[in-house]
Amino acid sequence: MDKFTTLTGVAAPMPLVNIDTDMIIPKQFLKTIQRSGLGKNLFDEMRFTQDGAEIPSFVLNQPAYRRAQILVAGENFGCGSSREHAPWALLDFGIRCVISTSFADIFFNNCFKNGILPVVLPQEAVDHLMDDARKGENARIAVDLQAQTVTAADGTVFAFEVDAFKKHCLLNGLDDIGLTMEKASAIDSYEAKNATLRPWA
């Protein structure tokens, strides 16, 4: 998993509330267990017509936001079914941070396990950042995980809270496998001792 330390980039405004995981990555794209390749289907039913043509009005199809790395979204982002494909699709598209007033719990935790930082801020702060995001690629938002701040294009700084353990994992690029591998020497020692004590096992 890639580390998340700081990120400065274009933010795409998505003021819709209750954006669920089926909107993020529709069910017909869940046949794969690969984490890559899902970005092209991110928000598929909002991005494309049934014929596969882009819908020009959708934010991520607009030139200013095609390379957006941050989403500023409405409340309850990531609700619905508990599909891990949702953060996979966001990450594969290039989204590393989602800012909202609230997230669904399972989606929120899945983001941390896949290298995405979900930031919870008060409504006033999200409104400010949403206005920034609507200005397009000339307005860039900066996110600093170590300092736990989001800085708007006009320099306004918003502080956010984050669980210390989740912060540690993101800063160091540690998913569940990475956390296990941190204990590799202890595991090896146990296996060697166990082989001596229980050679039949």
- Quote the pLDDT of residue 38: 95
In a domain, 79, yes or no: yes
Residues 6+ apart with CB under 8 A from 65: 10, 12, 59, 136, 137
Q: Domain of 117: which CATH number?
A: 3.20.19.10
In a domain, 32, yes or no: yes
Specify the number of domains making up the chain. Answer: 1
- Quote the pLDDT of residue 111: 97
Closest CA to 37 of 1, 85, 3, 96: 85
Which DSSP helix (H) or strand (E) runs through 9?
Answer: strand 6-14
In a domain, 104, yes or no: yes
Q: Which residue segment(s) compose the domain that 104 sits in? A: 6-174
In a domain, 190, yes or no: no
Q: Mind giving me the DSSP string for 51-76?
A: TS-B-TTSGGGSGGGTT--EEEE-SS
> How far, in Å, are 184, 189, 190 from residue 198 at the CA level?
20, 14, 11
In a domain, 189, yes or no: no
> pTM score, two decimals?
0.88
In a domain, 184, yes or no: no
Closest CA to 73 of 115, 113, 108: 108
- Quote the pLDDT of residue 31: 80
- Quote the pLDDT of residue 187: 61
The token duo for 4 is 């998340």
- Quote the pLDDT of residue 113: 94
Angle at 83 between CA 68 and CA 89, to 5 degrees: 25
In a domain, 163, yes or no: yes
- Quote the pLDDT of residue 191: 63
27-76 per-position pLDDT tens digit: 998 887 777 889 999 999 999 999 999 999 999 999 999 999 999 999 99
- Quote the pLDDT of residue 157: 98
- pLDDT tier at 177, thresholds 50, 70, 90: low
Residue 9 has pLDDT above 60, yes or no: yes
